[in-house]
A and B are shown apart, each in its own frame.
Chain A
Amino acid sequence: MQWYIDVDPKNFPTLLNLGIPRIRDTYVAKVAAAPPRRPDVRQLLLVSLWLVTATSGFFFVLRYETSPGTLAAPPKTWPEGAFARPASGTYSLVMAVHPHCPCSRASIAELSSIMSHSGNLHAYVLFLSPRKVASNWERTDLWASAQSIPRTTAIADKDGALLALFNCKTSGQTLLYDAAGNLKFNGGITSARGHQGDNAGRDAILAFARTGIARHAETLVFGCGLKDNCKNGK
């Protein structure tokens, strides 16, 4: 495996003893400069330590990314005082979003995927808009992304009144109400924090929208907290 294994002088007695100065010198120089055949034990230990460190780091990352936020219990039926639901025959999907939560970018992307795969859904994305912050605080790239999704309404929720009404505490929490206003699904639509891709929440919502039944009615939610001093999420 190592190049210098083959230039051991013991393998070249004929060459090195036949008085060929040029090649002889080359080989002798190489042999002299050749590192030992086996890697240094210290190097192996160092590499092992490095691998343990890196693996531990990834373990921490995975732990963090798969640690869910608070999944509060939403009202079982469409709450009174909320905005009007669409016409009958259409499911209503409500998603709570912190406009600056980077993890919710994946949730918006998943919402886009859901809306493109199902025609009998109407989505409402509730963006937290506290009074004490600057105006247009909620108008981020997430807002623009949400607005660009078909059959989706982006709502600036002043001081989180609607979020309180739906009892959402974590950005990315998604609720699905059927045409009758009954809660069908509550949870996140990403598999991990800020992680796009296949996930149980998306599969459940699409299943409800298509067949009325699904394997999961609740999933974990990953995202930033929607209220100050909240211990969830981060």
Chain B
Amino acid sequence: MSVGWPRENGELLFVAVPAPAPGNNFALSIPSGQTWRVLAVRCDLTVTLGARSLNVAVADPFGNTAWSTSCTVTHGVGLTFVSWGIGLATAAAALNGYFSWPMPDCLVLGSATTQLVSLGNVSGADTLTNIRVLYQRWRTA
């Protein structure tokens, strides 16, 4: 469908995503009648055992994965700070547990089943907290 992009009157929104239960990934619904451009995502990952990988992805209205990021390192036991952003050309792992990963610059058509999710092998008592999403939104209905 036509979403009339680019055009004026988009909105810039900054939201906190509720932390999932320990050992689970997070999910943020993208409602019907809206088109999103996700600019950046961040969270704190606390790993309690082993090594984890963590990505973000969009599940499209048809239940498929529209896109997903691909990280290049694993997160060991402890607290790390993970950011994804459009415009990042390079994955980077800095000192003190800071990681950043590129993310596709795409428009996402909302639906009853569209979600922005994390894809990670989190388990046990691992936690994802302080999840924040910065995005632009256009209303298409």
The answer to whether A binds B is no
Chain A residues engaging chain B, CB cutoff 8 angstroms = none
Q: Which residues on B are within 8 Å of A, measured CB to CB?
A: none
